């Protein structure tokens, strides 16, 4: 039996802007032939049940906490990424979303750690007059660069529902289709779901490879343009995941959804509210013995597949933490399974904790395709935070919860309700 070691489940952290942190092809993706699966992208109760394997039940739907009747929804599907590593080809946590760009269906990475839409030119068929004179350049954390020309296009989540269509600027990678995660349906770009107030985003003029100071942003995310069209109906979006069929890990068929994103008008409990201006939160790590706490900036990033924490945070949270004894059972500075990490937020009543995964006897989980999601994998990133001083609450931890992301009166990130 061929085994796959869970040695590195994190993709390259991208830094296309000061806070544009996302999962990219940073460690060098390898191409493979894509097999197209037929998926049902219409969100209805009957189709929802039909697509969920027997025995699965979703978390409490955050839409039940109040919402408009004119919501716009899309499923989030799993995928696999073939990433070149020293140990093997590996499977990683990926959420993809099917969008239609000028009528062309395109799979994009669903990424709350990025702002705006980036798409490979080969995946779309835009007329020449859609392109404008602005060009852009950026770099993912693993070193892969992207570059191209900005354009305008109609973006829909459901082409049969005109309410889901917005005319918006997008970033078209004309530099060789550098964004490729080869899987069952090739992910051909990034659906950056969250934007800060002014200066972070794919759709730009200039260089976003370092600090973003030389760039001028004029394009934002899908939610921003929905809000501009109808701020009363579309001032937030919910993100709901289904529980994994093996508790903390599971295999989800590639034509079955693992979550739903819904744009509408939602709210949650004040006790579960986290301030999230400029797409960052002040995360409080209270320490294992309650003697001291560390407050630091961080983001919720579905585009990064694991939790990324600095060594000092791990030392603060785990008693007698040792990189020699508490890391490396599954390789690549990965924190061993079975350790507890707590975190809360400044100016918020919300707090939670999780247990790191996987345990040592599950570093190998069998044949390729045995899993598509694994919760709470945590990686030690040393004393320098992953990108621009940020701790990253990646997809491995976000899978345990459901969220409502709220927008301010300009259409930018304002706060998050954790609804599950």
Q: Is the pLDDT of residue 287 over 80?
A: yes
Average pLDDT score over residue span 21-48: 32
Q: What is the dihedral of CA 331, 333, 338, 341, to 10 degrees?
A: -160
Tell me the C-alpha distance between 25 and 28, whole Å: 6
- Closest Cα to residue 101, out of 188, 211, 7? 188
Quick one: pLDDT band at residue 13, thresholds 50, 70, 90? very low
**4 domain-assigned:** no
**346 domain-assigned:** yes
Domain that holds residue 126: 13-31+41-265
Kindly state whether residues 337 and 222 are assigned to the same domain.
no
Per the structure, the count of domains in the chain is: 2
Q: How many percent of the chain have pLDDT more than 70? A: 68
CB-count burial class (<10 Å; 0-12, 13-18, 19+) for 364: middle
Q: Is the pLDDT of residue 166 over 60?
A: yes
Average pLDDT score over residue span 70-93: 65
Kindly state whether residues 303 and 224 are assigned to the same domain.
no
Quick one: pLDDT band at residue 128, thresholds 50, 70, 90? very high
Domain boundary residue, one of 222, 238, 265: 265
From residue 91, alpha-carbon distances to 10, 27, 40 in Å are: 10, 14, 24
Tell me the C-alpha distance between 17 and 8, whole Å: 24
Q: Is the pLDDT of residue 212 over 50?
A: no
At 245 the pLDDT is: 81
Average pLDDT score over residue span 191-208: 68
Instruction: Find the CATH number of the domain harbouring 287.
Output: 2.40.70
Kindly state whether residues 315 and 188 are assigned to the same domain.
no
Average pLDDT score over residue span 21-45: 33
Quick one: pLDDT band at residue 64, thresholds 50, 70, 90? very low
At 112 the pLDDT is: 92
| Other CB atoms within 10 A of residue 409 CB | 9
Structure tokens at 152: 């305008």
Kindly state whether residues 245 and 357 are assigned to the same domain.
no
Q: What is the mean pLDDT of the chain?
A: 75
Q: Is the pLDDT of residue 379 over 70?
A: yes
Q: Of the spans 31-40, 58-67, 252-261, 316-325, which averages the highest pLDDT?
A: 316-325
At 141 the pLDDT is: 54
Quick one: pLDDT band at residue 42, thresholds 50, 70, 90? very low
Quick one: pLDDT band at residue 103, thresholds 50, 70, 90? very high
CB-count burial class (<10 Å; 0-12, 13-18, 19+) for 110: buried
Kindly state whether residues 100 and 213 are assigned to the same domain.
yes
Kindly state whether residues 202 and 324 are assigned to the same domain.
no
Domain boundary residue, one of 231, 265, 299: 265
**5 domain-assigned:** no
Quick one: pLDDT band at residue 144, thresholds 50, 70, 90? low
Kindly state whether residues 148 and 297 are assigned to the same domain.
no
**403 domain-assigned:** no
Quick one: pLDDT band at residue 60, thresholds 50, 70, 90? very low
Instruction: Find the CATH number of the domain harbouring 255.
Output: 2.40.70.10
Domain boundary residue, one of 218, 237, 265: 265
Kindly state whether residues 82 and 115 are assigned to the same domain.
yes
Tell me the C-alpha distance between 36 and 38, whole Å: 7
At 185 the pLDDT is: 56
Single pTM value for the model: 0.81
Quick one: pLDDT band at residue 40, thresholds 50, 70, 90? very low
**340 domain-assigned:** yes
**Lowest-confidence range among 73-87, 138-152, 315-329, 368-382?**
73-87
Average pLDDT score over residue span 227-242: 93
Q: Is the pLDDT of residue 31 over 50?
A: no
């Amino acid at each position: 039996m061929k085994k796959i070691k869970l040695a590195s489940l994190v993709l390259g952290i991208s830094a296309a802007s000061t806070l544009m942190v996302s999962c990219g092809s940073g460690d060098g993706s390898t191409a493979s032939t894509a097999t197209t699966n037929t998926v049902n992208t219409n969100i209805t109760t009957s189709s929802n049940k039909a697509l969920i394997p027997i025995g699965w039940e979703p978390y409490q739907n955050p839409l039940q906490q109040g919402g408009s009747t004119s919501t716009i929804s899309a499923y989030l599907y799993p995928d696999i990424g073939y990433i070149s590593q020293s140990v093997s080809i590996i499977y990683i946590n990926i959420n993809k979303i099917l969008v239609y760009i000028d009528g062309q269906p395109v799979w994009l990475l669903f990424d709350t750690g990025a702002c705006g839409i980036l798409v490979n030119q080969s995946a779309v068929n835009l007329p020449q007059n859609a392109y404008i004179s602005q060009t852009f350049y950026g770099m993912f954390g693993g070193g892969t660069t992207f570059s191209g020309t900005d354009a305008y296009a109609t973006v829909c989540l459901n082409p049969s529902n005109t309410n889901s269509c917005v005319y918006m600027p997008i970033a078209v990678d004309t530099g060789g289709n550098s964004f490729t995660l080869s899987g069952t349906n090739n992910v051909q770009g990034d659906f950056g779901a969250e934007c800060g107030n002014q200066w972070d985003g794919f759709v730009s003029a200039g260089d976003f490879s370092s600090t973003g100071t030389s760039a001028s942003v004029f394009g934002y995310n899908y939610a921003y343009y929905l809000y501009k069209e109808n701020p009363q109906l579309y001032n937030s979006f919910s993100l709901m995941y289904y529980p994994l069929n093996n508790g903390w890990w599971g295999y989800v068929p590639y034509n079955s959804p693992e979550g739903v994103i819904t744009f509408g008008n939602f709210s949650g409990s004040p006790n579960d509210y986290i301030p999230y201006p400029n797409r960052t939160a002040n995360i409080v790590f209270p320490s294992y013995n309650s003697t001291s706490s560390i407050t630091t900036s961080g983001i919720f990033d579905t585009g990064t597949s694991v939790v990324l924490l600095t060594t000092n945070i791990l030392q603060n949270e785990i008693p007698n933490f040792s990189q020699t004894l508490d890391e490396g059972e599954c390789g690549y500075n990965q924190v061993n399974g079975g350790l507890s990490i707590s975190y809360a937020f400044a100016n918020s009543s919300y707090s939670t904790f999780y247990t790191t995964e996987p345990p040592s006897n599950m570093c190998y989980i069998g044949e390729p395709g045995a899993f598509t999601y694994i919760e709470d994998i945590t990686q030690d990133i040393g004393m320098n935070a992953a990108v621009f001083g940020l701790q990253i609450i990646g997809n491995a931890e976000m899978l345990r919860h459901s969220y409502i992301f709220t927008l301010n009166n300009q259409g930018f990130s304002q706060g998050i309700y954790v609804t599950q």
